[in-house]
Homo-oligomer: A and B are copies of this chain.
Amino acid sequence: MSRLDSFIRRLEAQRTCLNHVAALIDRLDGIVLELGLGNGRTYDHLRKLFPNRDIYVCERRVAAHPDCIPPAERLLLGDLRDTLPRARAGLAGKVAFAHLDVGTGDAAANRALAGDLAPLVAPLLREDGVLASDQMMDCPKFASLPLPDGVARGRYHLYRRV
């Protein structure tokens, strides 16, 4: 498999998971939290999936397409290890869906970051809220959810907040 093949599979898995979560939380009130804006493509997808929910975005430094920059009042700028604890005052227990897409080519750094973030994301999610993540998240507050058809095990990760 080439890197082009692998990249397309990853993006398709991501999209399939986001669409799947939209159905899962259909009857669950709450906001959406995008952890990592990047170029803004998944933020744009979330806007289309959730036109009636507020979408908050955490990003270190905005470098997205100009059409995909969230309104300032829902943009939390800085390192996730700083912004997530600060977000707790306003967002604790209010997030129906958090999407984390922060992986780099450095697997060890990815694992360390996921370990740091799990206890910071958990208090923001409401009961039965869903976390979709490109990283495995090991936390007693997260129960693994089955992946939708067509997504290979390990390519993406879904959790329900318990």
Contact = CB atoms under 8 A, between A and B. Distances in A.
26 contacts: A2-B41, A2-B44, A2-B45, A2-B47, A3-B39, A3-B40, A3-B44, A3-B45, A3-B65, A3-B67, A4-B11, A4-B14, A4-B15, A4-B18, A4-B41, A4-B42, A4-B44, A4-B45, A5-B45, A7-B11, A7-B41, A8-B8, A8-B11, A8-B12, A11-B11, A65-B105
Which 4 residue pairs of A and B lie closest in terms of their CB atoms, listed nearest first? A2-B45, A4-B45, A3-B44, A4-B41
Interface string A1-44: 01111011001101100100000000000000000000111101
Chain A contact residues: helix, strand, loop or mixed: helix
A18 B2 CA distance: 12
A3 B43 CA distance: 9
A91 interface: no
Interface string A55-90: 000000000010110000000000000000000000
A153 interface: no
Interface residues of A, number: 23
Given A3-B41, A5-B45, 7 more contacts: A2-B45, A2-B47, A2-B48, A3-B45, A4-B14, A7-B41, A8-B15
